[in-house]
Amino acid sequence: MAPSHSPRFEKLCEEARAKVCECSIDDLLARQQAGDKIILLDVREESEFAVNHLPGARHLGKGIIERDIEQAHPHCDTELVLYCGGGYRSALAADNLQRMGYTRIISLAGGYRAWKDRGLPLEAARGS
């Protein structure tokens, strides 16, 4: 069951979602199978990422993504698919990255929970 969020937070997320591109899990899987060059970024907390994450994902948490994105991905036309636990943090992060000039930012609708609920593969952090 998805956590209950405050009305103001929900409003903030809805405003962000209206400004960013979202893709479904099926869209992401199709693009990965087609060999499209996309970078999958997990914006959850480091402790969440360490437990497990989507295969091939890199971690850049919501708390630091705006600070560290230019060092990690300096080209503003790099296609980045962001995900979090349920699609809230990723929408907020995607909105901020677009405001920073990144032009190919996508938020994964439903995030990690939707992926896990479908029984799709997950991987643990290296060394875990």
118-127 per-position pLDDT tens digit: 999 999 976 5
Active site residue 84: yes
| Average pLDDT of the segment spanning 59-85 | 96
Q: Which residues contact 22 (CB under 8 A, 6 or more apart)?
A: 87, 91, 106, 107, 108, 109
Residue from 13, 23, 76, 84 carrying the catalytic annotation: 84
Q: Which residues pair with 108 in a beta bridge?
A: 23
Edge-to-edge order in the sheet of strand 58-59 = 21-23, 105-108, 80-83, 39-42, 58-59
Describe the crossing of helices 88-99 and 7-19 by its angle, rounded to 10 degrees. Answer: 50
The answer to whether 90 and 109 have CB atoms below 8 angstroms apart is: no
pLDDT for 1 equals 47
Separation of alpha carbons 6 and 97, rounded Å: 24
For the chain, what are the domain ranges?
Answer: 21-117
Give tens-digit pLDDT for 23-70: 999 999 999 999 999 999 999 999 999 999 999 999 999 999 999 999
Q: What is the pTM of this model?
A: 0.92
Separation of alpha carbons 71 and 84, rounded Å: 21
CATH topology for 21-117 is Oxidized Rhodanese; domain 1 (3.40.250)
19: tokens are 């400004």
